[in-house]
Structure formats: structure tokens, C-alpha cells
Amino acid sequence: MTKHLILFRHGKSDWQAGSGRDRDRPVAERGITAAKTMGKLLAAAGKVPDLAITSSAVRARTTLELAAEAGRWPCPIKVTDDLYEASIKQVLEVVHQVADHHSSVMLVGHQPTWSDAVTYFMGGGAVQMPTAVMACLAFEVTTWAQVEYGRGTLVWLLPPRLFV
């Protein structure tokens, strides 16, 4: 059985807006456009996840909400503090808690964790995750608890600039 994990980095944020707290930064106009583009693209490709889990940061939540609305994704959305300023260990814990009936899961989060996570799951190499990029990894496992270092294969990596 194959499990697919999609890592989606939040859209470009607006450094001038918000309360001044990093967690409260909103998505900039460019990030809004990119999030909607990626949401439609994923739907058109038939790759909408069964479940989406996002960091609680405003820019991550908004990116996911915009993408899901634009692509009319039917998947449930969960918000967690565990993906904000997360370590690879925290990302892995979130993945391991996913119910096994989900075959495709999206996590929405931040740098530098997302580039590090793709590299970790592949077991090496180097990947850069600019804003609003999606990367999909495939794992030949039957349970999410079996997702570990080096078990993933990068299936695709899509930057929004190719589609905007």
C-alpha cells in the first residue's frame, strides 16, 4: 500500500501587516494568488488529499483555506500548534497520529522545516521549498506510523510560479 504526504509551504506573507507577532502575519496578495492557483491545480490533477493539517499560524491557515476553497476540496481540515516552529520530530509525530484509513495527507507549514522534512523523508539530498510550493512524497507503508527517515520517494514538487 502507498501513503502520500503532501507538504505545502504557506503563501508569501505580508511582513508589514498584522500585530507584529510572527504567528499573526497574514498572507500577502502574491501569496493569495499562489494559494488559489495551487488549490485549483491540485484539484484539476485529481490529487486532493483525504485530510489536510495546518500550522496554527495565520499565513499557513489562510493559505490552506484559500487553496481548499479555490479547488473545492472536500477534505477535512485540522489546525494544530504542533506544526508552527516545528522540528522534524514534531512533524513526524503529527504524521504518526494520522488515522490509517487516510491514504493521502497534506501538511501546511513553514521554512526551514519543510525543506528539511522533504530531505529527511527522502534520506538525503537537498530541496528548497519557496513560498506556496507543494511537494509530494510516496511511502510504501500500510500505516502512517511506519513513515520514517529515508522511506519516502519524491513524486513531484510544484512551484506556483510555473502556473501563475
Is residue 18 over pLDDT 80?
A: no
Short-list 41, 68, 37, CA closest to 52: 68
Residue 17's pLDDT band, with cuts at 50, 70 and 90, is low
CATH architecture observed for domain 3-162: 3-Layer(aba) Sandwich (3.40)
Residue 128's pLDDT band, with cuts at 50, 70 and 90, is very high
Which run of H or of E encompasses 163? none
Q: Kindly report whether the global pTM for this prediction surpasses the value 0.75.
A: yes
Sign of the torsion formed by the C-alpha atoms of 69, 25, 95 and 139: positive
Quote the pLDDT of residue 73: 97
Residue 63 CA to residue 72 CA, distance in Å, equals 14
Q: Where are the domains of the chain?
A: 3-162
Question: Which residues, 6 or more positions from 33, have their beta carbon under 8 angstroms from its beta carbon?
Answer: 160, 164
Residue 162 CA to residue 12 CA, distance in Å, equals 16
Sign of the torsion formed by the C-alpha atoms of 158, 140, 55 and 113: negative
Q: pLDDT, tens digit, for every residue of 64-113?
A: 999 999 999 999 999 999 999 999 999 999 999 999 999 999 999 999 99
> What is the rounded average pLDDT for all residues in the chain?
95
Quote the pLDDT of residue 64: 98
What φ, ψ does residue 72 adopt, rounded to 5°? 55, 50
Q: What is the mean pLDDT of residues 53-67?
A: 97
Q: pLDDT, tens digit, for every residue of 134-144?
A: 999 999 999 99
Q: In what order do the strands lie in the sheet with 3-9?
A: 77-80, 51-55, 104-109, 3-9, 134-139, 152-158
